[in-house]
Structure 1
């Protein structure tokens, strides 16, 4: 046996590579479309403000948190667990998971929309199906990819990475070719194009759209574990984040300007959020006289990227929740795995909650309203979860001796705490205002219905996380959470609520209100069951 010890050379991540890794998770072409629809050309000013007043401090705070908690992988829940204890760490993991539910539903919807465009070259597929058929296709997409991801997970992760890079390439291509088209005789659709056109109107409607801007730029926490893999994080990480901001600034500012070339920002299509990306590449192809070539390239890139992303998300988010919360707070039923080690009941819970979200939206007037509502729901829940990041940072800077770090954002602890508070306040306010519905006429029946289902969706997704530890406590006390009779009652109520909801699925607000009342009563009954002290036994 050789007594000589081998010296392992540590592999460091360079700061440009880290910036590129983060960039793919932060911004995409669809983010440009969504916020352009909300704010028009004024979104250019909003992007500039967001980048300097929010993205830079946000990303640098993430860097310090990732450096402090690197021994736990740098996950968001580990940051809260390390600063506030086990239960809040669990609840953070739950809210992070719950925030992913509307995201995966929205992603599945986008897959259906993308396949329609990739096959027909237009929005004909959307026009030919009803809301219920749209929901059915979305649920079918879930079922297929929950099965597929277990067999081809590694291939899909590679495909999602390749797709993300390809999507970035398509976005840069669009920006460059759009601006170049002006030199070839093209004209700007948004008129007048002057300084006044890019100044947003700072009113109540503007405040309701800030959450979607935050949703577009969050995701930096995903690269936090890599901070300690840099050779000199104290000097290299800020460089990486400045490079990130530079690339994001180029894409958001010039990308929004490019959209103004093809779309009149004062009169935008009603379905721009759902179909705007395809319209944009269709218009680019017409400008360069190549027909729908660019649109088909984008559509298939979008489909393959979203397919891989959906499969990886469905697996990763469920595994993260089940493994990160452990036996103390998560019921045995959800921790159960099959022979392949897959948390099958966790997948089932994901599908059930996704179906619940779809059921809430199915009674909206058309597919476009469903798509917009789901997207805007992401603009509420996702920024709300981001608040945990700033809260953890404030706790760390309140007691810096307890939390040493190889990278420190702002050496003065009081100033750093104030910056963290600023980011927390902005995000919390944006979350609160985001609850107000967008893309529909204010105070119309649809507006009120969307407001109600926004509150219901948030309450159910977050509230269930508070109930599960109580169910686990019942398991520990009685050996099982509910008796067979209680399970029969609960399942029967759920089935009846769904049937009644479908039966009352007309357009009248009163019918929708009845559905909401039924769901609320069901929720109260389930909470009552959880709180019962005695359990009728058993087998």
Structure 2
């Protein structure tokens, strides 16, 4: 093998940093957190990058180097350090955390299409909750079909779209600075040091999880650590470059938003429409009309469409292939002639419909969008805890686990940093359960708090139910975990959820309180009617 061919086997640290960056933070993350904290988010970004992003990324590097034979995946780290069941449960929670994310992605595509079609935020005023749910469901079905035919090309397109999204964000910052140099004014006044310091109160604590959600994802590049020529020296360089890029994007991007939006009086729909408002205002400042807004909207659709298609495929395949036969039911692992896990896709769509059903009772499309974002700020940081847990386990048993790259060679110091990251992530996860975009202790606040708990219990709890279903399959003479009547009950519940998405979304919130009680009673009746034990189960040998 020639020297040139040998070099081709290695990934340089700048390339690794760029690969990781496109999966970590985007322009939408800036607007979401800007509405949560205003200009004070600038200080939050600085703190998070210094005490969280850097150690988090470097811990991922050590885990990826330690378990390089397992592909460096999160579930393999947990399995190797905490046992097979914990590995399965980590895979399940990682998959469950993707459900609100893909629903949110589909919703964002719908919003982007609305901006391209109408040229403004008209979609949220004319589309009812039920139509929004139906539109989102159709987007799901469309991209499940698309990804089965163009899987590999969409992976490439999503990467290109990620780079394009980064380019749009950099363009926004540069043009904003240029506008100020040309005599433009800043909307946020007065702009003082107090303006960029957040208020550390209960509301701030509930928004901390969304900051973590915006900047996590570094574990996706873990398998590439061992493909570097000198991981001990080059990987820290890549993570420092990643931190600098993230810092530039978040700090200057947030400041740029403060140029066009008065941080003291933000629009209440900034999360759902803020990115488009920003590029619309920037285009008007340079006498370009809506050109930049349309360019951003098309970039958003292009990137998120490819990302959604890849996610729908990758998350389902990962769950089914990485958990093995011991805990995952056979009917979910079953594939069609084309190798597609059809029942896995149905489970994804079913749980996505359930999540939409919980939000369908909220007053309008904006509230649904905001609630889904906040739900991501709960579940996604919770899953990130697995990374820090695995790192702690590795450092506690460094006589067993050996790595080509070691983050903080002093064992006590590395464990202190690991526990710090685990603790702050756990606190942020729990605090994020409190609703953020509605008045504290109002009826809507209590309702969102309730559906937050319901979503968490169902998504995470189902991970404990599947091994039981797998056991029933093995004991059944028919090879099925459910009788015919039980399957009728399950499909009745699924169809009721879908119909509920379409019907209840057209009623007002107060009227729907009665309907949710009625549907709950109907669901309990179905469980009682069809939940009896099967008569064709073999007697347990135990």
Structure 2 residue aligned with 1:359:
357
Query: How far did 1:180 drift?
Result: 1.2
The structure-2 alpha-carbon separation of the partners of 1:499 and 1:137, relative to structure 1 and needing over 3 Å to count, comes to closer
Query: Does residue 192 of the first structure (1) align with residue 190 of the second (2)?
Result: yes
**Secondary structure, aligned partner of 1:207:** helix
Secondary structure, counterpart of 1:448 in structure 2: helix
Closer, same or farther: CA 160–363 of 1 in aligned 2, 3 Å: same
1:480-523 deviation per Cα after TM superposition (whole angstroms, max 9, x unaligned): 20111222233334545666787666435584376268448847
Q: CA deviation at 1:318?
A: 0.5
Q: Tell me the residue number matched to 2:206.
A: 208
> How many residues are matched?
533
Classify 1:524/1:417 alpha carbon distance in 2 versus 1 (closer, same or farther; 3 Å). Answer: farther
Identify the residue that residue 118 of structure 1 maps to in structure 2: 116
TM, length-normalised to structure 1: 0.95
1:454 CA drift (Å):
0.5
Q: Measured at CA, do residues 525 and 385 of structure 1 come closer, stay the same or move farther in structure 2, by a change above 3 Å?
A: farther
1:119-177 deviation line (CA, Å, top 9, x unaligned):
22111222221110011000000000000111111221111111100000000000011
Aligned partner (choices 475, 481, 489) of residue 477 of structure 1? 475
In structure 2, C-alpha distance between the alignment counterparts of 1:394 and 1:523, rounded to whole Å: 42
Matched residue, 1:307: 305
CA distance in 1: counterparts of 2:147 and 2:497, whole angstroms:
31
Where does residue 9 of structure 1 map in the other structure? 6
Contact 2:489/2:526 (8 A) holds in 1? no
SS at match of 2:6: coil
CA 1:504–1:256 in 2, change beyond 3 Å: closer, same or farther?
closer
CA contact (8 A) 1:504 1:515 kept: no
* Secondary structure at the counterpart of residue 23 of structure 2: helix
Contact 1:497 1:515 in 2 (8 A): no
2:161 to 160, 163, 170: 163
Structure 2: how far apart are the matches of 1:266 and 1:75? 43
The separation in 2 between residues aligned to 1:70 and 1:529, in whole angstroms, is 47
2:31 aligns to what? Answer: 33
Corresponding residue for residue 508 of structure 2: 507
Alignment of 1:176-255 (within 5 A): 176-255=174-253
| Contact map agreement 1:501 1:515 (CA 8 A) in 2 | no
After superposition, where does 1:43-82 map in structure 2 within 5 Å? 43-82=41-80
Once the two structures are overlaid, the 10-residue window that deviates more, 467-476 or 503-512, is 503-512
Call closer, same or farther: CA 1:407–1:131 in 2, change over 3 Å: same
**Aligned: 1:339 with 2:337:** yes
- Residues 326 and 467 of structure 2 are in contact (CA less than 8 Å); yes or no, is this contact kept in structure 1? yes
Contact 2:130–2:501 (Cα < 8 Å) also in 1: no
Distance 1:500 1:282, change over 3 A: closer
Please give the root-mean-square deviation of Cα atoms over the aligned residues, in Å: 2.1
- SS of equivalent residue, structure 1 residue 290: coil
Go from structure 1 to structure 2 and tell me whether the alpha carbon gap of 1:410 and 1:390 turns closer, same or farther (over 3 Å shift).
same
Report the alpha carbon displacement of residue 79 of structure 1 after superposing the two structures with TM.
0.3
Q: Which runs of 5+ in 2 are unaligned?
A: none
TM-score, length basis structure 2: 0.94
Contact kept in structure 2, 1:504 and 1:512, CA below 8 Å? no
Farther-moved stretch of structure 1 (408-417 vs 100-109): 408-417
- Residue 185 of structure 1 aligns to a residue whose secondary structure is coil
In structure 2, C-alpha distance between the alignment counterparts of 1:518 and 1:347, rounded to whole Å: 25
Q: Is the 8 A contact 1:282 1:294 kept in 2?
A: yes
Alignment of 1:125-524 (within 5 A): 125-478=123-476, 479-496=479-496, 506-509=507-510, 511-512=512-513, 515=516, 518-519=519-520, 522=523
